[in-house]
């Protein structure tokens, strides 16, 4: 099932996809265009931790001139304030020379995970989402230590529109590790990939993080992006799509 969180007539509702429309929790059925889309997080608890992966696709690492991919997950922490919903605006600061999207499969933890084995790890996934984790290369100190302005700016991470139950993805051939990714900028395809090309797959990431920290329900793991990133200018409309999960629309605005 596809879950959403929206504002309709000044009230916040949980909703589900229903035959090309939204069915709100009070039973109303409304069109996609009638609502403001929020990040489809669990109403409670809020994500205590948002983890994001860098260089988790070998082709993207090669694109950035790395001779060898990371030997263990390269991760950083994000704040919830970076998250915005479907069809929201991401702000590009004036004067920067290179700001790019990153189409990423996001994993939502479904239950408390601590010292989880790789074999059992997928049992701890609650849902999957599409994330677009923008980065400004002007602010990058180095690839192994992205600073706060690169990845923790307000509005820099659209997520949604849906929170898709993990069971719906796991029953697909190849599960979460066989999903096509695509990004378009103003209708032109600029990025294509597949989650099967991750260096560290979803199960490995959950086992790795839970080996030294507790993952809680609602926590998010953004799993990295393949190659094909391009600079995005104010007014550009970006759509990041992941097979079976959804198409996340977003537009760039100048600060």
Please provide the DSSP assignment of 113-182 as one string. BSS--TTTGGGGEEEEEEEE--EEGGG-S-TTS--HHHH-STT-EEB-S-EEEHHHHHTSTTGGGS-EEE
pLDDT digits 0-9 by tens, 155-197: 999 999 999 999 999 999 999 999 999 999 999 999 999 999 9
Let me know whether 26 and 51 are in one domain: no
Let me know whether 18 and 134 are in one domain: no
Q: What's the pLDDT band for 45 if we cut at 50, 70, 90?
A: confident
pLDDT digits 0-9 by tens, 125-154: 999 999 999 999 998 877 666 678 888 899
**Does the predicted model carry a pTM greater than 0.85?**
yes
Question: The domain that contains 168 carries what CATH number?
Answer: 3.90.850.10
Let me know whether 126 and 247 are in one domain: yes
Let me know whether 85 and 200 are in one domain: yes
Let me know whether 12 and 134 are in one domain: no
Find all residues with CB under 8 Å of 70, minimum gap 6, and list them. Answer: 54, 55, 56, 61, 199
- What is the count of structural domains for the chain? 2
Read off the tokens for 241: 């799509």
Whether the pLDDT of residue 64 is over 70: the answer is no
Q: Best-predicted range by mean pLDDT among 42-56, 58-72, 94-108?
A: 94-108
Whether the pLDDT of residue 68 is over 80: the answer is no
**pLDDT (0 to 100) of residue 108:** 98
* pLDDT, mean of residues 224-247: 96
Let me know whether 149 and 200 are in one domain: yes
Q: Which residue has the higher pLDDT, 114 or 61?
A: 114
Q: What's the pLDDT band for 46 if we cut at 50, 70, 90?
A: confident
* pLDDT, mean of residues 63-86: 83
Let me know whether 18 and 125 are in one domain: no
Contact assessment for residue 240 and residue 103, using Cβ atoms and an 8 Å cutoff: yes
Let me know whether 100 and 112 are in one domain: yes
* pLDDT, mean of residues 102-110: 98
Question: The domain that contains 30 carries what CATH number?
Answer: 2.30.30.370
CA distances 167 to 50, 110, 191, 233, Å, are 22, 11, 27, 37
**pLDDT (0 to 100) of residue 63:** 53
DSSP label at 198? B
Block residue for tokens 């192994």: 144
Q: Rounded distance, CA 120 to CA 136, Å?
A: 36
Whether the pLDDT of residue 65 is over 70: the answer is no
Let me know whether 33 and 63 are in one domain: no
Question: CB 212: neighbour CB atoms within 10 A?
Answer: 8
DSSP label at 39? -
Q: Rounded distance, CA 124 to CA 151, Å?
A: 26
Q: Which residue has the higher pLDDT, 109 or 67?
A: 109
Let me know whether 161 and 242 are in one domain: yes
**pLDDT (0 to 100) of residue 143:** 62
Quote the percentage of the chain above a pLDDT of 90: 85
Let me know whether 155 and 32 are in one domain: no
**φ/ψ (deg, to 5) at 139:** -90, -5
Within its chain, how far is the Cα of 29 from the centroid? 27
pLDDT digits 0-9 by tens, 211-230: 999 999 999 999 999 999 99
**pLDDT (0 to 100) of residue 66:** 57
Contact assessment for residue 38 and residue 3, using Cβ atoms and an 8 Å cutoff: no
Whether the pLDDT of residue 60 is over 80: the answer is no
Whether the pLDDT of residue 28 is over 60: the answer is yes
Q: Rounded distance, CA 129 to CA 222, Å?
A: 9
Let me know whether 164 and 101 are in one domain: yes
Q: Rounded distance, CA 144 to CA 3, Å?
A: 34
Q: What is the dihedral of CA 248, 38, 222, 249, to 10 degrees?
A: 10
Q: For the purposes of burial, counting CB atoms within 10 Å of the CB of 251, is it exposed (0-12), middle (13-18) or buried (19 or more)?
A: middle
List the domain range (segments joined by +) for residue 176.
Answer: 41-254
């Amino acid at each position: 099932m596809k879950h959403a969180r929206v504002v309709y007539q000044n009230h916040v509702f949980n909703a589900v996809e229903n035959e090309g429309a939204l069915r709100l929790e009070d039973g109303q059925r409304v069109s996609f265009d009638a609502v403001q889309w929020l990040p489809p997080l669990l109403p409670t608890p809020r994500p205590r931790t948002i983890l994001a992966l860098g260089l988790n696709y070998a082709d993207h690492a090669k694109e950035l001139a790395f001779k060898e991919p990371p030997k263990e997950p390269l991760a950083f922490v994000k704040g919830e304030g970076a998250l915005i919903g479907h069809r929201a605006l991401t702000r590009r600061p004036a004067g920067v020379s290179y700001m790019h999207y990153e189409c990423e499969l996001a994993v939502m933890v479904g239950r408390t995970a601590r010292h989880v084995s790789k074999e059992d790890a997928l049992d701890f996934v609650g849902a999957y989402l599409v994330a677009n984790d923008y980065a400004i290369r002007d602010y990058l100190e180095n690839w192994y230590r992205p600073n706060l302005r690169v990845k923790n700016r307000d509005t820099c991470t659209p997520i949604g529109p849906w929170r898709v139950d993990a069971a719906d993805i796991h029953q697909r051939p190849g599960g979460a590790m066989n999903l096509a990714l695509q990004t378009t900028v103003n209708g032109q395809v600029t990025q294509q990939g597949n989650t099967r090309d991750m260096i560290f797959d979803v199960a490995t990431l959950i086992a790795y993080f839970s080996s030294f920290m507790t993952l809680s329900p609602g926590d998010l793991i953004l799993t990295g992006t393949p190659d094909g990133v391009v600079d995005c200018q104010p007014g550009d409309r970006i759509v990041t799509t992941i097979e079976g999960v959804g198409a996340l629309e977003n537009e760039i605005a100048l600060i």
